[in-house]
Amino acid sequence: MRKSLSTIVIFLVLCSCSKGPKTAEEIELTQNPGKVTSNIAFKNYLGVNAFEWDFTEPNQSNRISEVRMATINCFGGIRHYLDWERMESTEGKYTFNPTHSGGSYYDVIYSRLKADNLGLLVCIKNIPPWLMNTYPADQRGGDNTPVNFGADKSNPESYIKQARMGFQFAARYGSNRNVDPALVSVNTAPRWNADDLNSVKIGLDLVKYVECNNEPDKWWAGKKAQQSAEEYAANLSAFYDGNKGKMGKNVGVKTADPNMKVVMAGLGDAKPEFVAKMVEWCRKNRGLKADGTIDLCFDVINYHLYANDAFLNGGNATTGVAPELSEIGSVADKFIKMAKENAPGLEVWVTETGYDVGKTPQSAIAIGSKTSFITQADWNLRTSLLYARHGISRCIFYMLDDAGGVNNPTQYSSSGFHNDDLSKRPSADYMLQTKKLIGNYFYSATISNQPIVDLYKLDKKEIYVLTIPDQKGRTSTYQLDLGSATQAVIHTLQVGKDEMAHKTVNVTNGKLQVEVSETPVFVEKI
């Protein structure tokens, strides 16, 4: 979620709860889990979190900003933070295009993202004021659990209001054109004279993934906002399919569109056992499918984790750490193992990660002649490469714009990919250049750990990605075996450019000497 300054302070220990590797040997082991040929295009590791105003012109929310889209298109996908209030500012009265809260045009935004081939995950989060007001004045918060005050959080029926909203969202933006129009509703009243009016639309086929809330395990927010694994599973069961259809014909995402994928909310505390408990709740309360598998109420496993030194520092982060030297690889392995054991076939996503550029406990450090901005670019790209290597299926960075600015000392305040004037930071440059080169390639194998050498393939084409997994400014020379190739193209990242630099070189007896640094270098076999 977008962290307000007050929330960010509490988040200082957010990423410290899972124990990562404590020795150099353990860290080394996490760098190469072995050959895990992937069917996930690499562009899926180049996602970014954004809000609706990141796509449109200021004060013209029905008009896409081409300047902003130039940066948006650096990425392979979008996670849209969408407040429930936008669509249902008055209980039971739904608006989408325009919304009566915020005045956004989601049909316009989502249509453009589809046209630009940008994968979209919509994270519907927080509760609307009319639901928040059921809580006592001293317990009201937008991130409260999505139930009426005093409701049983372990009962799926308590989440019916959110689940009805999920149905309306999926009926409009999903792929099912056969939803009963009598079940679909919008508020057609104008906000003012000559206002654009909402109209019922069904099966627009613009959204394939929807996320049910954000960080439901928020222990820092107290019991009014925190859910146990079992409580969140009950929440998901309602949101997913109206608790297996028991809650009505207009309740639940799958009830409207069986093809839409429901992503569990990204966990703030990256503990795979939370998901294992959700699976067990489903076994007990939803039973088994005809094929004998557990009838789960989510299609994708999801967590958040930022690479810093908290795991070495008693839980207190003081600085960002290069991804390969942090705990994120070992935590990814734990989630993958848990998924294989408890929910075979489900993808595991990381939908928040990244680095600040200011002086915060999450900062990418300056290294030699490299500024924090360039190190941020190195480490973000290496995070994407790491997650592909470990078998995670999608990586989405926090976030497109800053949440406080470069001079703000609070964690997560300067993780953005562009500056206030909308000029791209090196991180955006690196994302764009890598997307262009290997966005449609698939991870195939890791053939070396020091330096890391990953092989990516697309049909018969091969590109090697070489990186030194350190944060000291180290360089080295690596002899790359290119088999029968007589030539290769070396691609190098550039700050302030839309394309990598390219150099065609000769290969001697199938071997190529490659200069490697902490900035990934790409070698294309030709």
Same domain assignment for residues 254 and 303: yes
For residue 10, is pLDDT > 50?
Answer: no
% the chain with pLDDT above 90 = 92
Alpha-carbon distance of 211 to 79, in angstroms, equals 9
Segment 392-398 shows an average pLDDT of 98
Q: How confident is the model at residue 14 (pLDDT cuts 50, 70, 90)?
A: very low
> So what's the pLDDT on residue 12?
33
Annotate 160-229 with DSSP letters as a single string: HHHHHHHHHHHHHHSS-TTS-GGG-------SSTTPPPP---------SEEEESS-TT-GGG-TTT---H
Q: Which residues contact 285 (CB under 8 A, 6 or more apart)?
A: 233, 234, 237
pLDDT, position 38: 86
Question: Could you read off the pLDDT of 218-268 as tens digits, one per residue?
Answer: 999 999 999 999 999 999 999 999 999 999 999 999 999 999 999 999 999
Sign of the torsion formed by the C-alpha atoms of 176, 145, 392 and 497: positive
pTM: 0.94
Residues 370 and 491 both lie in one domain: no
For the chain, the C-alpha Rg in angstroms (whole number) is: 23
Q: Are residues 490 and 396 in the same domain?
A: no
Distances (CA, A) of 177 to 203, 225, 251, 461, 524: 4, 36, 17, 39, 44
Whether residues 403 and 493 fall in one domain? no
Label residue 391 left, alpha or beta by phi (over 0 means left) and psi (-120 to 50 means alpha). left
pLDDT at 3: 43
pLDDT band at 31 (very low <50, low <70, confident <90, very high): very low
Final residue of a structural domain among 395, 412, 440: 440
Structure tokens at 143: 């991130």
6 within a domain of the structure (yes/no):
no
The pLDDT value given to residue 13: 33
Nearest-angstrom CA–CA distance, 212 and 241: 12
pLDDT confidence of residue 36: 54
With cut-offs at 50, 70 and 90, classify the pLDDT of residue 37.
Answer: confident
Q: Tell me the pLDDT tens digit for each residue of 490-503.
A: 999 999 999 999 99
Banded pLDDT at 20 (limits 50, 70, 90): very low
Does residue 27 surpass a pLDDT of 50? Answer: no
Q: Is the pLDDT of residue 320 over 90?
A: yes
42 contacts 388 by C-beta, under 8 angstroms: yes
Q: Which helix (H) or strand (E) holds 510?
A: none
Name the CA dihedral angle for 106, 349, 292, 341, rounded to a multiple of 10 degrees: -170
Instruction: Write the pLDDT tens digit of every residue in 107-158.
Output: 999 999 999 999 999 999 999 999 999 999 999 999 999 999 999 999 999 9
What value does the mean pLDDT take over residues 295-313? Answer: 96
Domain that includes residue 412, residue range: 12-440
458 and 418 housed in the same domain: no
What pLDDT digit, counting tens, does each position of 353-382 carry?
999 999 999 999 999 999 999 999 999 999
Show which of 420, 440, 460 is a domain's final residue: 440
Does some domain include residue 2? no
Look at the alpha carbons of 332, 6, 142, 187 in this order and tell me if their dihedral is positive or negative: negative
- Residues 112 and 398: their CA atoms lie apart, in Å, by 22
The pLDDT tens digits for 404-432 are 999 999 999 999 999 999 999 999 999 99
CA–CA separation, 173 and 193 (whole Å): 27
Q: How far apart are CA 75 and CA 49, in angstroms?
A: 10
- Residue 305's nearest CA partner among 392, 389, 430, 377 is 392
User: Amino acid identity, residue 475?
Assistant: T
Examine the domain organization and report whether 192 and 297 are in the same domain.
yes
Residues 408 and 489 in one domain: no
147 inside domain? yes
- Structure tokens that stand for 448 in this block: 């070396």
For residue 196, how many other CB atoms are within 10 A of its CB?
12
Picking from 393, 410, 440, the residue at the C-terminal end of a domain is 440
Whether residue 145 is found in the same domain as residue 285: yes
Distance CA 493, CA 491 (A): 7
State residue 8's pLDDT score: 35
Q: Are residues 280 and 327 in the same domain?
A: yes
Residues 505 and 386 both lie in one domain: no
Examine the pLDDT at 191 and tell me if it is beyond 90.
yes
Considering only 29-38, 304-313, 463-472, which range has the smallest mean pLDDT?
29-38
Contact 360, 466 (CB under 8 A): no
CA angle 95, 98, 99 (to 5 degrees): 45
Give domain status of residue 59, yes or no.
Answer: yes
* 250, 376: one domain: yes
The CATH number of whichever domain residue 463 belongs to comes to 2.60.40
β-pairing, 501-506 vs 461-467, is unpaired
pLDDT given at position 26: 41
Phi, then psi, of 395 in degrees rounded to 5: -130, 130
Three-state secondary structure string covering 277-296: HHHHHHHHHCCECCCCCECC
- Mean pLDDT, rounded, for 266-294: 98
State the pLDDT confidence band at 313, using cuts at 50, 70 and 90.
confident
- Mean pLDDT value of segment 68-95: 98
Same domain, 227 and 373: yes
Cα separation, 510 vs 487, in Å, equals: 9
Instruction: Provide the domain count of the chain.
Output: 2
Has residue 17 got a pLDDT over 70? no
pLDDT at res. 322: 98
Burial of 58 (0-12, 13-18, 19+ CB in 10 A): exposed
**Domain harbouring 205, CATH code:** 3.20.20.80
Average pLDDT over the chain reads: 94
Max distance between CA atoms of the chain, in angstroms, equals 76
Residue 316 within any structural domain of the chain: yes
